Amino acid sequence: MKKYFWLIPVLLFGGQAQAGESVVQALTGQYQQHGAGLADAAHGKEIWQQQHMQKKLKKRVSCASCHGADLRRSGEHLRTGKRIEPMAPSVNQERLSDPKKIEKWFLRNCKWTWGRECTTQEKADILAFLQSL
Amino acid sequence: MKQKLKCNRIWGMMLLVGCIMLSMGTLAWSDDDEWFEHGNKHESEYGEGKHESAWQRTTGVAVVSNKLYKTECSACHFAYQPGFLPARSWVKMMSSLDDHFGENAELDATSRTAIEQYLRGHAADRQPNRFSRSMMRSIGKRETPLRISQTPYFQRKHHEVPARMVKNNPKVRSFANCASCHQGAAKGQFDEDAVRIPGFGNWED
């Protein structure tokens, strides 16, 4: 009996990591039904770093402005200074595990950072990029 | 003669005790009754939450009792107790989440409505506690403040706090970060005694 105890953490954490992956897969599938093509992680990385004018702040910003340059470490909100937990699912297992949360923050942050909603293709690409971290 | 003096003393004591009891009764009666009724009426209208104990009612603002409000709003900032602003302020705030003090804080329709209902039902003008009453008294009837820190009551309570301790203090940055200094903020406790300013220590008058 005792020799199987190592299975407990493996199942717990392994299960969680897989949950994240399947969430991303399911969302990507939905995006593809709404016009997106194959998810491109390299393009996701590129648009993550793209600078856009934030009208209210009168500053050029990108996703990295708040999430930080290294997504395996925590970021800091540009204005309020609030700590933002790491985005990389390999470091922070809560990331990319809740589709409702993903959509909520896509809506808010695309509008704030880019001044418009992200397209399904852009969302698929960004998810692929983050999942690869 | 001695007997008569003793008798007078007893009567005097009884009169004094009587006066004290009468005045205490009046105090207790005038304190909360009317507000309680008011609060109860709205409580049933909006459901949610129980009445706080008499202790909480008088020493702090009513604690946050809604899980959805707490998780959604404290993802970004301190979950301000609804008893800090009148219902009209919360309604206005919840209708402009796409520009929430410069941030986009949009919510799905279901969550937005549920949170607005909670905030309205527990707003300062629907709460019997003294904190909320003081807040309401300081806000003009036609005003709809969105920032708690800009209400006259808040400003009166914080006017002695210099900028170097809050605005220019990298560990605090803004009056919006209640819990940075108020140790009991999440429990609705904002007494002066429990204030500890990061980098400055306990607040001394």
- Count Cα neighbours of B56 within 13 Å in the Cβ-side half-sphere: 15
Task: List CB contacts (< 8 A) between A111 and chain B.
Answer: 98, 104, 106
In this structure, are B132 and B204 located in the same domain?
no
Whole-number pLDDT of residue B6: 75
The answer to whether residue A14 scores a pLDDT higher than 80 is no
Answer whether B84's CB lies under 8 Å from B132's CB: yes
Question: Would B91 be classed as within a structural domain?
Answer: yes
The mean of the pLDDT values for chain A is: 90
Nearest residue of chain A to residue B180 (CA atoms): A82
Question: Would B139 be classed as within a structural domain?
Answer: yes
Task: List CB contacts (< 8 A) between A82 and chain B.
Answer: 76-77
Q: Quick check: B106 and A107 CB within 8 A?
A: yes
Q: Residue B80's closest CA among B61, B96, B97?
A: B61
pLDDT classification of A80: cutoffs 50, 70, 90: confident
Question: Would B134 be classed as within a structural domain?
Answer: yes
In this structure, are B122 and B186 located in the same domain?
no
Question: Would B153 be classed as within a structural domain?
Answer: no
Q: Which of residues 135-194 of B touch A (CB under 8 A)?
A: 170, 173-174, 176
**Which of helix, strand or coil describes residue B138?**
helix
Answer whether B162's CB lies under 8 Å from B172's CB: no
**B72 vs A3, higher pLDDT:** B72
Question: Would B46 be classed as within a structural domain?
Answer: no
Question: Would B138 be classed as within a structural domain?
Answer: yes
pLDDT tens for A106-128 read 999 999 999 999 999 999 999 99
Question: For B104, which of A77, A79, A112 is closest by C-beta distance?
Answer: A112
In this structure, are B131 and B70 located in the same domain?
yes
Question: For A108, which of B106, B170, B173 is closest by C-beta distance?
Answer: B106
HEC sequence for A3-70: HHCCHHHHHHHHHHHHHHHHHHHHHHHHHHHCCCCCCCHHHHHHHHHCCEEECCCCEEECCHHHHCCC
pTM value > 0.80: no
Whole-number pLDDT of residue B11: 86
In this structure, are B138 and B164 located in the same domain?
no
Could you give the number of structural domains in chain B? Answer: 2
pLDDT classification of A34: cutoffs 50, 70, 90: very high
Q: Which of B77, B103, B174 is the best substitution to test chain A (most A C-beta atoms within 10 A)?
A: B103
Angle at A33 between CA A32 and CA A35, to 5 degrees: 65
Angle at B102 between CA B96 and CA B104, to 5 degrees: 60
Question: Would B189 be classed as within a structural domain?
Answer: yes
Task: List CB contacts (< 8 A) between A117 and chain B.
Answer: none
Nearest residue of chain B to residue A116 (CA atoms): B104
A56: distance to nearest CA of chain B, Å? 7
Low-confidence ranges of chain B (pLDDT < 50): 30-50, 52, 55-57
In this structure, are B70 and B139 located in the same domain?
yes
In this structure, are B137 and B73 located in the same domain?
yes
In this structure, are B137 and B96 located in the same domain?
yes
Of chain A, the percentage scoring pLDDT greater than 70 comes to 86
Expressed as residue numbers, the domain containing B168 is 160-205
Task: List CB contacts (< 8 A) between B77 and chain A.
Answer: 80, 82
Q: B75 CB near a chain A CB, below 8 Å?
A: no
A7: distance to nearest CA of chain B, Å? 33
Q: Quick check: B77 and A56 CB within 8 A?
A: no
In this structure, are B82 and B133 located in the same domain?
yes
In this structure, are B135 and B76 located in the same domain?
yes
**Which of helix, strand or coil describes residue B197?**
strand
Element (H, E) at A120: helix A120-131
In this structure, are B133 and B170 located in the same domain?
no
Question: Would B154 be classed as within a structural domain?
Answer: no
